[in-house]
Amino acid sequence: MPPVITAFERSPDRGRGLARDMRVRWMLEEIGQPYEVRPLSFEAMKQPTHLARNPFGQIPTYEDGALTLFESGAIVLHLAERHGRLLPTDPEARARTIAWMFAALNTVEPAVFDHSLTQVLERDRPWFDERIQVLEARIRTRLAQLSDHLGEADWLEGDFSVGDLLMASVLLRLKATALLDERTNLRPYLTRAERRPAFQRAFDAQKAAFDAADT
Amino acid sequence: MPPVITAFERSPDRGRGLARDMRVRWMLEEIGQPYEVRPLSFEAMKQPTHLARNPFGQIPTYEDGALTLFESGAIVLHLAERHGRLLPTDPEARARTIAWMFAALNTVEPAVFDHSLTQVLERDRPWFDERIQVLEARIRTRLAQLSDHLGEADWLEGDFSVGDLLMASVLLRLKATALLDERTNLRPYLTRAERRPAFQRAFDAQKAAFDAADT
Protein backbone atom coordinates (compact mmCIF):
# COMPACT_ATOMS: atom_id res chain seq x y z
CA MET A 1 0.00 0.00 0.00
CA PRO A 2 1.54 3.37 -0.96
CA PRO A 3 1.31 6.20 1.54
CA VAL A 4 -1.72 8.49 1.26
CA ILE A 5 -1.61 12.28 1.51
CA THR A 6 -4.50 14.73 1.74
CA ALA A 7 -4.83 17.82 -0.44
CA PHE A 8 -7.48 20.42 -1.30
CA GLU A 9 -10.18 19.02 -3.56
CA ARG A 10 -9.97 22.34 -5.39
CA SER A 11 -6.92 24.36 -4.43
CA PRO A 12 -7.62 28.06 -3.73
CA ASP A 13 -4.44 28.92 -5.66
CA ARG A 14 -5.96 27.37 -8.82
CA GLY A 15 -3.06 24.94 -9.29
CA ARG A 16 -0.11 27.31 -8.86
CA GLY A 17 1.61 24.94 -6.45
CA LEU A 18 1.20 27.16 -3.39
CA ALA A 19 -0.83 24.77 -1.25
CA ARG A 20 1.25 22.92 1.31
CA ASP A 21 0.63 19.47 -0.19
CA MET A 22 3.07 20.60 -2.93
CA ARG A 23 6.01 20.29 -0.51
CA VAL A 24 5.13 16.75 0.41
CA ARG A 25 4.45 15.74 -3.21
CA TRP A 26 7.83 17.26 -4.17
CA MET A 27 9.65 15.35 -1.42
CA LEU A 28 7.91 12.09 -2.35
CA GLU A 29 9.01 12.62 -5.97
CA GLU A 30 12.59 13.37 -4.86
CA ILE A 31 12.77 9.99 -3.12
CA GLY A 32 10.86 8.17 -5.85
CA GLN A 33 8.08 7.06 -3.52
CA PRO A 34 4.70 6.52 -5.23
CA TYR A 35 1.76 7.91 -3.26
CA GLU A 36 -1.98 8.33 -3.39
CA VAL A 37 -3.94 11.52 -2.82
CA ARG A 38 -7.20 11.86 -0.91
CA PRO A 39 -8.78 15.14 -2.07
CA LEU A 40 -10.81 16.94 0.62
CA SER A 41 -13.47 19.62 0.39
CA PHE A 42 -13.32 22.50 2.88
CA GLU A 43 -16.25 20.88 4.68
CA ALA A 44 -14.51 17.50 4.92
CA MET A 45 -11.40 19.18 6.40
CA LYS A 46 -13.46 20.22 9.45
CA GLN A 47 -15.01 16.78 10.04
CA PRO A 48 -13.90 14.34 12.79
CA THR A 49 -12.34 11.95 10.28
CA HIS A 50 -9.88 14.59 9.15
CA LEU A 51 -9.41 16.20 12.57
CA ALA A 52 -8.18 12.76 13.74
CA ARG A 53 -5.45 13.09 11.08
CA ASN A 54 -4.71 16.75 11.81
CA PRO A 55 -6.20 18.41 14.92
CA PHE A 56 -6.00 21.80 13.13
CA GLY A 57 -8.01 20.60 10.12
CA GLN A 58 -5.35 21.50 7.58
CA ILE A 59 -3.84 19.74 4.60
CA PRO A 60 -1.53 17.96 3.92
CA THR A 61 -1.51 14.89 6.12
CA TYR A 62 0.47 11.72 5.54
CA GLU A 63 -0.68 8.18 6.29
CA ASP A 64 1.65 5.23 5.98
CA GLY A 65 0.53 2.04 7.72
CA ALA A 66 -0.02 2.83 11.40
CA LEU A 67 1.63 6.26 11.15
CA THR A 68 -0.48 9.37 10.63
CA LEU A 69 1.44 12.63 10.45
CA PHE A 70 0.53 16.29 9.99
CA GLU A 71 2.51 19.54 9.41
CA SER A 72 4.27 19.70 6.05
CA GLY A 73 7.62 20.40 7.73
CA ALA A 74 7.35 17.32 9.94
CA ILE A 75 6.28 15.11 7.01
CA VAL A 76 9.19 16.28 4.84
CA LEU A 77 11.66 15.73 7.71
CA HIS A 78 10.23 12.26 8.40
CA LEU A 79 10.63 11.27 4.74
CA ALA A 80 14.17 12.66 4.62
CA GLU A 81 15.18 10.64 7.69
CA ARG A 82 13.39 7.47 6.67
CA HIS A 83 14.78 7.42 3.13
CA GLY A 84 18.15 9.02 3.91
CA ARG A 85 17.66 11.71 1.26
CA LEU A 86 18.27 15.49 1.09
CA LEU A 87 19.55 15.53 4.69
CA PRO A 88 23.31 15.31 5.37
CA THR A 89 24.51 12.42 7.55
CA ASP A 90 27.25 14.52 9.20
CA PRO A 91 25.61 15.56 12.51
CA GLU A 92 26.53 19.25 12.29
CA ALA A 93 25.49 19.64 8.66
CA ARG A 94 22.30 17.75 9.48
CA ALA A 95 21.48 20.10 12.39
CA ARG A 96 22.16 23.15 10.18
CA THR A 97 19.91 21.78 7.44
CA ILE A 98 17.09 21.30 9.96
CA ALA A 99 17.69 24.90 11.12
CA TRP A 100 16.98 26.02 7.55
CA MET A 101 13.72 24.03 7.56
CA PHE A 102 12.57 25.88 10.69
CA ALA A 103 13.84 29.20 9.26
CA ALA A 104 11.76 28.69 6.10
CA LEU A 105 8.59 27.93 8.06
CA ASN A 106 8.96 30.07 11.18
CA THR A 107 11.01 33.10 10.06
CA VAL A 108 10.26 33.59 6.33
CA GLU A 109 6.86 32.00 5.73
CA PRO A 110 4.79 33.99 8.29
CA ALA A 111 5.68 37.29 6.59
CA VAL A 112 5.07 35.90 3.11
CA PHE A 113 1.83 34.12 4.02
CA ASP A 114 0.45 37.17 5.84
CA HIS A 115 1.11 39.22 2.70
CA SER A 116 -0.80 36.72 0.54
CA LEU A 117 -3.69 36.53 2.97
CA THR A 118 -3.95 40.32 3.22
CA GLN A 119 -4.05 40.61 -0.58
CA VAL A 120 -7.06 38.30 -0.61
CA LEU A 121 -8.96 39.30 2.53
CA GLU A 122 -8.26 43.00 3.06
CA ARG A 123 -8.09 44.46 -0.43
CA ASP A 124 -11.28 46.49 0.07
CA ARG A 125 -10.40 47.75 3.55
CA PRO A 126 -9.42 51.42 3.99
CA TRP A 127 -6.10 50.41 5.54
CA PHE A 128 -5.07 48.07 2.72
CA ASP A 129 -2.37 50.23 1.09
CA GLU A 130 -0.71 51.12 4.36
CA ARG A 131 -0.74 47.54 5.67
CA ILE A 132 0.67 46.14 2.45
CA GLN A 133 3.61 48.51 2.72
CA VAL A 134 4.32 47.32 6.26
CA LEU A 135 4.12 43.68 5.16
CA GLU A 136 6.32 44.26 2.12
CA ALA A 137 8.95 45.90 4.31
CA ARG A 138 8.96 42.81 6.53
CA ILE A 139 9.38 40.55 3.51
CA ARG A 140 12.15 42.77 2.06
CA THR A 141 14.13 42.46 5.29
CA ARG A 142 13.91 38.66 5.24
CA LEU A 143 14.71 38.41 1.53
CA ALA A 144 17.76 40.69 1.88
CA GLN A 145 19.06 38.54 4.74
CA LEU A 146 18.42 35.35 2.80
CA SER A 147 20.14 36.82 -0.25
CA ASP A 148 23.17 37.89 1.79
CA HIS A 149 23.55 34.40 3.20
CA LEU A 150 23.12 32.70 -0.17
CA GLY A 151 25.63 34.91 -1.97
CA GLU A 152 26.92 33.07 -5.02
CA ALA A 153 26.11 29.61 -3.69
CA ASP A 154 23.55 27.41 -5.42
CA TRP A 155 21.93 26.20 -2.20
CA LEU A 156 21.63 27.28 1.42
CA GLU A 157 23.85 24.67 3.06
CA GLY A 158 25.99 22.55 0.72
CA ASP A 159 23.98 20.40 -1.68
CA PHE A 160 20.26 20.78 -2.35
CA SER A 161 18.50 19.75 0.85
CA VAL A 162 15.13 19.68 2.56
CA GLY A 163 16.03 23.18 3.78
CA ASP A 164 16.07 24.39 0.17
CA LEU A 165 12.92 22.41 -0.64
CA LEU A 166 10.96 24.25 2.06
CA MET A 167 12.56 27.64 1.41
CA ALA A 168 11.84 27.42 -2.33
CA SER A 169 8.25 26.35 -1.53
CA VAL A 170 7.86 29.54 0.50
CA LEU A 171 9.48 31.79 -2.17
CA LEU A 172 7.17 30.29 -4.81
CA ARG A 173 4.41 32.40 -3.23
CA LEU A 174 6.37 35.53 -4.29
CA LYS A 175 7.04 34.30 -7.83
CA ALA A 176 4.62 36.77 -9.46
CA THR A 177 5.91 39.75 -7.44
CA ALA A 178 8.82 42.12 -8.04
CA LEU A 179 9.97 41.55 -4.44
CA LEU A 180 11.93 38.55 -5.67
CA ASP A 181 13.91 40.73 -8.09
CA GLU A 182 15.24 43.32 -5.66
CA ARG A 183 18.23 41.05 -5.06
CA THR A 184 19.81 39.35 -8.06
CA ASN A 185 20.29 35.88 -6.63
CA LEU A 186 16.84 34.93 -5.35
CA ARG A 187 14.84 34.36 -8.53
CA PRO A 188 17.69 32.24 -9.97
CA TYR A 189 17.66 30.24 -6.69
CA LEU A 190 13.93 29.61 -7.05
CA THR A 191 14.33 28.74 -10.73
CA ARG A 192 17.07 26.19 -9.93
CA ALA A 193 14.68 24.54 -7.48
CA GLU A 194 11.77 24.61 -9.93
CA ARG A 195 13.88 22.96 -12.63
CA ARG A 196 14.41 19.84 -10.57
CA PRO A 197 12.55 17.00 -12.28
CA ALA A 198 10.93 16.01 -8.96
CA PHE A 199 9.53 19.55 -8.58
CA GLN A 200 8.14 19.41 -12.11
CA ARG A 201 6.44 16.05 -11.55
CA ALA A 202 4.93 17.24 -8.27
CA PHE A 203 3.81 20.53 -9.82
CA ASP A 204 2.19 18.79 -12.78
CA ALA A 205 0.38 16.35 -10.48
CA GLN A 206 -1.18 19.05 -8.30
CA LYS A 207 -2.04 21.11 -11.40
CA ALA A 208 -3.74 18.11 -13.03
CA ALA A 209 -5.73 17.52 -9.83
CA PHE A 210 -6.92 21.14 -9.86
CA ASP A 211 -7.81 21.06 -13.56
CA ALA A 212 -9.76 17.82 -13.13
CA ALA A 213 -11.75 19.26 -10.18
CA ASP A 214 -12.38 22.53 -12.03
CA THR A 215 -14.00 21.04 -15.09
CA MET B 1 33.52 24.61 27.54
CA PRO B 2 29.73 24.83 28.05
CA PRO B 3 27.59 25.75 25.06
CA VAL B 4 26.85 29.45 24.56
CA ILE B 5 23.47 30.90 23.64
CA THR B 6 22.60 34.45 22.63
CA ALA B 7 19.75 36.43 24.15
CA PHE B 8 18.50 40.02 24.21
CA GLU B 9 20.68 42.26 26.36
CA ARG B 10 17.42 43.78 27.57
CA SER B 11 14.39 41.74 26.60
CA PRO B 12 11.49 43.78 25.16
CA ASP B 13 9.10 41.67 27.25
CA ARG B 14 10.77 42.94 30.44
CA GLY B 15 11.60 39.45 31.69
CA ARG B 16 8.24 37.74 31.17
CA GLY B 17 9.87 34.78 29.45
CA LEU B 18 8.42 35.50 26.01
CA ALA B 19 11.70 35.93 24.12
CA ARG B 20 12.73 32.84 22.19
CA ASP B 21 15.89 32.21 24.24
CA MET B 22 13.50 31.01 27.00
CA ARG B 23 12.75 27.82 25.01
CA VAL B 24 16.39 26.96 24.66
CA ARG B 25 17.18 27.80 28.32
CA TRP B 26 14.23 25.60 29.35
CA MET B 27 15.45 22.68 27.24
CA LEU B 28 19.00 23.04 28.55
CA GLU B 29 17.62 22.94 32.10
CA GLU B 30 15.52 19.87 31.28
CA ILE B 31 18.63 17.97 30.22
CA GLY B 32 20.78 19.44 33.01
CA GLN B 33 23.27 21.00 30.61
CA PRO B 34 25.04 24.11 31.99
CA TYR B 35 25.32 26.94 29.48
CA GLU B 36 26.58 30.47 29.10
CA VAL B 37 24.67 33.45 27.73
CA ARG B 38 26.03 36.13 25.43
CA PRO B 39 23.68 39.13 25.77
CA LEU B 40 23.28 41.19 22.59
CA SER B 41 22.05 44.71 22.00
CA PHE B 42 19.71 45.34 19.06
CA GLU B 43 22.66 46.95 17.27
CA ALA B 44 24.91 43.94 17.87
CA MET B 45 22.23 41.60 16.45
CA LYS B 46 22.56 43.30 13.05
CA GLN B 47 26.37 43.14 12.92
CA PRO B 48 28.35 40.63 10.82
CA THR B 49 29.51 38.71 13.92
CA HIS B 50 25.95 37.81 14.80
CA LEU B 51 24.70 37.44 11.22
CA ALA B 52 27.34 34.71 10.86
CA ARG B 53 25.55 32.90 13.70
CA ASN B 54 22.06 33.63 12.40
CA PRO B 55 21.60 35.08 8.88
CA PHE B 56 18.29 36.64 10.02
CA GLY B 57 19.89 38.50 12.94
CA GLN B 58 17.62 36.96 15.57
CA ILE B 59 18.17 35.42 18.99
CA PRO B 60 18.66 32.75 20.23
CA THR B 61 21.63 31.04 18.65
CA TYR B 62 23.52 28.06 20.04
CA GLU B 63 27.26 27.48 19.82
CA ASP B 64 28.82 24.23 20.95
CA GLY B 65 32.35 23.58 19.72
CA ALA B 66 32.31 23.72 15.91
CA LEU B 67 28.51 23.74 15.70
CA THR B 68 26.62 27.01 15.40
CA LEU B 69 22.85 26.69 15.19
CA PHE B 70 19.95 29.11 14.86
CA GLU B 71 16.12 28.82 15.07
CA SER B 72 14.81 27.93 18.52
CA GLY B 73 12.89 24.92 17.15
CA ALA B 74 16.01 23.48 15.52
CA ILE B 75 18.11 24.04 18.65
CA VAL B 76 15.53 22.33 20.89
CA LEU B 77 15.27 19.38 18.46
CA HIS B 78 19.07 19.09 18.26
CA LEU B 79 19.35 18.99 22.07
CA ALA B 80 16.53 16.42 22.34
CA GLU B 81 18.24 14.13 19.84
CA ARG B 82 21.74 14.58 21.21
CA HIS B 83 20.76 13.98 24.83
CA GLY B 84 17.94 11.51 24.18
CA ARG B 85 15.45 13.55 26.19
CA LEU B 86 11.81 14.60 25.73
CA LEU B 87 11.62 12.84 22.36
CA PRO B 88 10.25 9.27 22.18
CA THR B 89 12.52 6.61 20.71
CA ASP B 90 9.64 4.74 19.05
CA PRO B 91 9.82 6.01 15.44
CA GLU B 92 6.12 6.75 15.08
CA ALA B 93 5.80 8.53 18.43
CA ARG B 94 8.98 10.44 17.60
CA ALA B 95 7.58 11.61 14.25
CA ARG B 96 4.31 12.67 15.90
CA THR B 97 6.21 14.61 18.56
CA ILE B 98 8.16 16.46 15.88
CA ALA B 99 4.84 17.22 14.15
CA TRP B 100 3.74 18.98 17.36
CA MET B 101 6.94 21.03 17.32
CA PHE B 102 6.17 22.26 13.81
CA ALA B 103 2.50 22.78 14.74
CA ALA B 104 3.51 24.99 17.67
CA LEU B 105 5.81 27.13 15.54
CA ASN B 106 4.10 27.12 12.14
CA THR B 107 0.37 26.78 12.91
CA VAL B 108 -0.17 28.34 16.36
CA GLU B 109 2.68 30.81 16.86
CA PRO B 110 2.14 33.00 13.75
CA ALA B 111 -1.40 33.90 14.90
CA VAL B 112 -0.30 34.51 18.49
CA PHE B 113 2.82 36.48 17.56
CA ASP B 114 0.95 38.63 15.05
CA HIS B 115 -1.54 39.51 17.79
CA SER B 116 1.28 40.56 20.15
CA LEU B 117 3.02 42.58 17.46
CA THR B 118 -0.18 44.35 16.47
CA GLN B 119 -0.84 45.29 20.11
CA VAL B 120 2.55 47.00 20.22
CA LEU B 121 2.88 48.50 16.74
CA GLU B 122 -0.64 49.32 15.55
CA ARG B 123 -2.43 50.48 18.70
CA ASP B 124 -2.77 54.04 17.38
CA ARG B 125 -3.82 53.10 13.87
CA PRO B 126 -7.44 53.65 12.80
CA TRP B 127 -7.84 49.99 11.95
CA PHE B 128 -6.60 48.67 15.31
CA ASP B 129 -9.91 47.52 16.84
CA GLU B 130 -11.08 45.79 13.71
CA ARG B 131 -7.74 44.04 13.09
CA ILE B 132 -7.49 42.84 16.69
CA GLN B 133 -10.88 41.18 16.34
CA VAL B 134 -9.74 39.36 13.20
CA LEU B 135 -6.55 38.23 14.93
CA GLU B 136 -8.37 37.10 18.04
CA ALA B 137 -10.74 35.05 15.92
CA ARG B 138 -7.75 33.32 14.32
CA ILE B 139 -6.28 32.56 17.75
CA ARG B 140 -9.65 31.29 19.07
CA THR B 141 -9.88 28.82 16.21
CA ARG B 142 -6.41 27.42 16.93
CA LEU B 143 -6.97 27.27 20.69
CA ALA B 144 -10.30 25.46 20.29
CA GLN B 145 -8.63 22.88 18.03
CA LEU B 146 -5.73 22.46 20.44
CA SER B 147 -8.16 22.10 23.35
CA ASP B 148 -10.22 19.49 21.50
CA HIS B 149 -7.11 17.42 20.81
CA LEU B 150 -5.79 17.71 24.36
CA GLY B 151 -9.09 16.72 26.00
CA GLU B 152 -8.37 15.37 29.46
CA ALA B 153 -4.77 14.41 28.71
CA ASP B 154 -1.90 16.09 30.51
CA TRP B 155 0.27 16.44 27.40
CA LEU B 156 -0.15 16.48 23.62
CA GLU B 157 1.39 13.12 22.78
CA GLY B 158 2.04 10.75 25.70
CA ASP B 159 4.59 12.08 28.20
CA PHE B 160 5.81 15.68 28.36
CA SER B 161 7.88 16.22 25.22
CA VAL B 162 9.63 18.89 23.17
CA GLY B 163 6.26 19.32 21.44
CA ASP B 164 4.75 20.46 24.75
CA LEU B 165 7.80 22.57 25.54
CA LEU B 166 7.35 24.59 22.34
CA MET B 167 3.54 24.71 22.54
CA ALA B 168 3.63 25.95 26.14
CA SER B 169 6.24 28.55 25.15
CA VAL B 170 3.82 29.86 22.53
CA LEU B 171 0.82 29.83 24.91
CA LEU B 172 2.85 31.75 27.50
CA ARG B 173 2.37 34.79 25.26
CA LEU B 174 -1.39 34.56 25.92
CA LYS B 175 -1.03 34.10 29.69
CA ALA B 176 -2.32 37.57 30.54
CA THR B 177 -5.31 37.32 28.18
CA ALA B 178 -8.77 35.84 28.66
CA LEU B 179 -8.35 33.91 25.39
CA LEU B 180 -6.68 31.14 27.35
CA ASP B 181 -9.78 30.72 29.55
CA GLU B 182 -12.40 30.18 26.85
CA ARG B 183 -11.64 26.46 27.04
CA THR B 184 -11.18 24.90 30.45
CA ASN B 185 -8.13 22.75 29.75
CA LEU B 186 -5.60 25.18 28.29
CA ARG B 187 -4.58 27.32 31.26
CA PRO B 188 -4.12 24.17 33.39
CA TYR B 189 -1.96 22.75 30.56
CA LEU B 190 0.22 25.88 30.59
CA THR B 191 0.38 25.83 34.40
CA ARG B 192 1.53 22.18 34.40
CA ALA B 193 4.34 23.17 32.02
CA GLU B 194 5.29 26.25 34.06
CA ARG B 195 5.51 24.17 37.25
CA ARG B 196 8.28 22.00 35.88
CA PRO B 197 11.45 22.79 37.86
CA ALA B 198 13.40 23.21 34.61
CA PHE B 199 10.93 25.87 33.44
CA GLN B 200 11.26 27.68 36.75
CA ARG B 201 15.07 27.69 36.61
CA ALA B 202 15.05 28.94 33.02
CA PHE B 203 12.44 31.57 33.79
CA ASP B 204 14.35 32.84 36.83
CA ALA B 205 17.60 33.00 34.82
CA GLN B 206 16.13 35.13 32.01
CA LYS B 207 14.31 37.32 34.57
CA ALA B 208 17.54 37.87 36.52
CA ALA B 209 19.31 38.81 33.28
CA PHE B 210 16.63 41.40 32.49
CA ASP B 211 16.66 42.82 36.01
CA ALA B 212 20.46 43.12 35.98
CA ALA B 213 20.39 44.95 32.62
CA ASP B 214 17.55 47.22 33.73
CA THR B 215 19.27 48.60 36.82
Q: What is the pLDDT of residues A186-211, one digit of tens each?
A: 999 999 999 999 999 999 999 999 99
pLDDT tens per residue across span A82-93: 999 999 999 999
H or E element in which residue A4 lies: strand A4-8
Q: Rounded to a whole number, what is the distance in Å from the CA of A133 to chain B's nearest CA?
A: 14
pLDDT value at residue A131: 87
pLDDT at B92: 95
Q: How large is the average pLDDT for residues A61-89?
A: 97
Per-residue pLDDT band at B215 (split at 50, 70, 90): confident
Cα–Cα distance for residue pair B8/B16, rounded to 1 Å: 13
Exposure string of B21-49, with b = 16+ CB inside 10 Å and e = fewer, is bbbbbbbbbbeeeebebbbbeeeebeeee
- E strand map for B59-178: 61-64, 67-70
Its ipTM equals 0.96
Cβ atoms of residues A10 and A210 within 8 Å? yes
Asked if the Cβ–Cβ distance from B71 to A145 is below 8 Å, we say no
Q: Are B23 and B172 in contact (CB under 8 A)?
A: no
The reply to whether B76 touches chain A by the CB within 8 Å rule is: no
The winner for highest mean pLDDT among A124-133, A202-211, B118-127 is A202-211
CA pair distance A42, B152, nearest whole angstrom: 28
What pLDDT score does A174 carry? 97
- Residue ranges and CATH numbers for the domains of chain A are 4-85+198-214 (3.40.30.10), 91-196 (1.20.1050.10)
Average confidence score pLDDT of chain A:
96
- Residue A121 above 90 pLDDT? no
| Interchain contact, A110 vs B107, CB within 8 Å | no
Distance (Å) from the alpha carbon of B155 to chain A's nearest alpha carbon: 14
pLDDT digits (tens, 9 = 90+) for A18-37: 999 999 999 999 999 999 99
Instruction: Determine contact: A10 vs chain B, CB below 8 A.
Output: no
Inform me whether the pLDDT recorded for A215 exceeds 80: no
pLDDT band at A214 (very low <50, low <70, confident <90, very high): confident
Q: What is the pLDDT of residue A5?
A: 98
Is the minimum CB–CB distance between B105 and chain A shorter than 8 Å? Answer: yes
Cβ atoms of B5 and B58 closer than 8 Å: no
Answer whether A106 sits within 8 Å of B56, measured CB to CB: no
pLDDT for residue B115 = 92
A62: confidence class by pLDDT, cuts 50, 70, 90: very high
Q: What pLDDT, in 10s, does the model give residues A162-188? A: 999 999 999 999 999 999 999 999 999
Cα A160 to Cα A7, A88, A165, A196, B4: the distances in Å are 25, 10, 8, 10, 29
| B141 has a pLDDT exceeding 90 | yes
pLDDT at B168: 98
Average pLDDT score, chain B: 96
Task: Say if B58 is an interface residue toward chain A (CB within 8 Å).
Answer: yes
Chain A: residue whose CA lies nearest to B140: A56
> Would an 8 Å CB–CB cutoff place B88 in contact with chain A?
no
B71-78 average pLDDT score? 98
* A197 CA: distance to closest CA in chain B (Å): 27
Any CB–CB contact under 8 A between A77 and chain B?
Answer: yes
Across the interface, do A66 and B110 touch by the CB < 8 Å criterion?
no
Answer whether residue B131 shows pLDDT above 90. no
Report the C-alpha gap between B213 and B205 in whole angstroms: 12
Using the predicted structure, report yes or no on whether residue A112 has a pLDDT greater than 80. Answer: yes
Contact A69 B103 (CB under 8 A): no
Question: What does each C-alpha distance from A193 to A25, A170, A188, B17 come to in angstroms?
Answer: 14, 12, 9, 39
Q: Please judge whether A71 and B103 are an interchain contact, meaning their C-beta atoms are less than 8 angstroms apart.
A: yes
Chain A residues with beta carbon closer than 8 angstroms to that of B55 = 103, 145-146, 148-149
Residues of A in contact with B67 (CB under 8 A): 91-92, 95-96
The CA distance from B198 to B76, in Å, is 14
pLDDT at residue B214 is higher than 90: no
> What's the pLDDT tens digit per position in B156-204?
999 999 999 999 999 999 999 999 999 999 999 999 999 999 999 999 9
CA A146, chain centre distance (Å): 17
- In terms of pLDDT, which residue wins out, B120 or A55? A55
The shortest CB-CB distance from B92 to any of A67, A96, A99 is to A67
Q: Is-contact A17 A203, C-beta < 8 A?
A: yes
Residue B42 sits at the chain A interface (C-beta within 8 Å): no
Residue A98: which of B55, B77, B96 has the nearest Cβ?
Answer: B77
